[in-house]
Amino acid sequence: MTKSFRILPAVLLALFAATAARAADLVLEVDGVEQATGEILVALYGKDDPWMRKPRTGQRVAATAGTTRVVFRELPEGDYAAVIFQDLDGDRRLARNSFGLPLEPWGFTNDAAAPFGPPGFDAARIAVAGTGATAVVRLRTQPPEPVAAR
C-alpha cells in the first residue's frame, strides 16, 4: 500500500507534464490597422467547430495603429482558423452595406481570400503545434464601389 502512494506523485507529475506539452500559444499579428480606433475582434474556430457559426473562443483587444497583437494561450494542438475585424463603431458587429459587403476592416488567418463570400475553414486553416504558432493577418477594407456618374 505504501509503495502505491510513493508511485502516485510520479504518475500525477507525468500526466500533468504530458497535458502541458500538448498546449501551445497562438499569436496573431493583425497587420494593416489604419486607425487606433475601436477594438480588434477575433473569433477562433477549431477544425470540429461549426465554421463561421460557433467559435471555440474569441478575444477583443484595443486597436493599435499598424499592428495589433492577439494571443490565445494554451490551446490544444491542432488546426485552427480565425475571423478578424476592426470594430470601428463599437457595436461588436461587422458593419455591412446593403449588398452585404463589409464596411469595417476584416481578415482571415492564412490570408484566405474571400472574393464571393467567406472562405472555407481549410483555406483559413493554420496548424498549432507544441511550440506554438504565429500568423500574420492582413486586414482588408472593402468599401462599396462608387456608382459612376453617367
Among 3.90.380, 2.60.40, 1.10.860, 1.10.3470, name the CATH number for the domain at 21-138: 2.60.40
Beta strands 23-33 and 133-138: pairing type?
parallel
Q: Where are the domains of the chain?
A: 21-138
Q: What is the mean pLDDT of the chain?
A: 86
pLDDT at 108 over 50: yes
Q: Residue 19: its pLDDT value, please?
A: 47
Cα distances (angstroms) measured from residue 108 to each of 28, 57, 71, 105, 124:
10, 15, 15, 11, 6
Task: Report the distance separating Cα 16 and Cα 41, nearest Å.
Answer: 32
15-19 mean pLDDT? 48
Question: Among residues 98, 96, 118, which one has the least CA distance to residue 43?
Answer: 118
* Range 4-27 average pLDDT: 60
- pLDDT surpassing 90 at residue 52: yes
Please measure the distance between the N-terminal and C-terminal CA atoms of the chain and give it in whole angstroms. Answer: 92
What burial class does residue 13 get, using C-beta atoms within 10 Å of its C-beta: 0-12 exposed, 13-18 middle, 19+ buried? Answer: exposed
Q: Is the pLDDT of residue 149 over 60?
A: no
Q: What is the pTM of this model?
A: 0.79
User: Residues 109-120: pLDDT tens digits?
Assistant: 999 988 888 999
